[in-house]
């Protein structure tokens, strides 16, 4: 609680054919390499608060 990081936290979990990506505490836009590494994701979970929701949706 109450900390700010200048790093992004991105986790991918795979079970058989299901790939789940958790995007938490995104401090900056994802790089093109990270975006390309996240191809074929079945489920994306995004952590956000009310102030960040508009930015995530856009």
* Domain membership of residue 36 as a residue range: 9-57
pLDDT 10s digits, 29-41: 888 998 998 889 9
User: Residue 32: inside a domain, yes or no?
Assistant: yes
User: Residue 38: inside a domain, yes or no?
Assistant: yes
User: Residue 3: inside a domain, yes or no?
Assistant: no
Strand 18-24 to strand 9-15: parallel, antiparallel, or no bridges (unpaired)? antiparallel
User: Residue 4: inside a domain, yes or no?
Assistant: no
User: Residue 1: inside a domain, yes or no?
Assistant: no
What lies within 8 Å, CB to CB, of 23 at 6+ separation is 8, 9, 10, 44, 45, 46, 47
pLDDT 10s digits, 1-58: 456 677 888 999 999 999 999 988 778 888 899 899 888 999 999 876 666 666 666 6
User: Residue 45: inside a domain, yes or no?
Assistant: yes
Question: How many domains, the chain?
Answer: 1
Cβ atoms of 46 and 56 closer than 8 Å? yes
pLDDT at 12: 93
């Amino acid at each position: 609680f109450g900390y700010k990081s200048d790093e992004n936290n991105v986790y991918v979990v795979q079970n058989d054919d299901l790939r789940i990506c958790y995007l938490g505490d995104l401090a900056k836009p994802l790089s093109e390499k990270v975006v390309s590494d996240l191809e074929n994701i079945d489920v994306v979970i995004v952590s956000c608060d009310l102030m960040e929701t508009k930015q995530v949706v856009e």
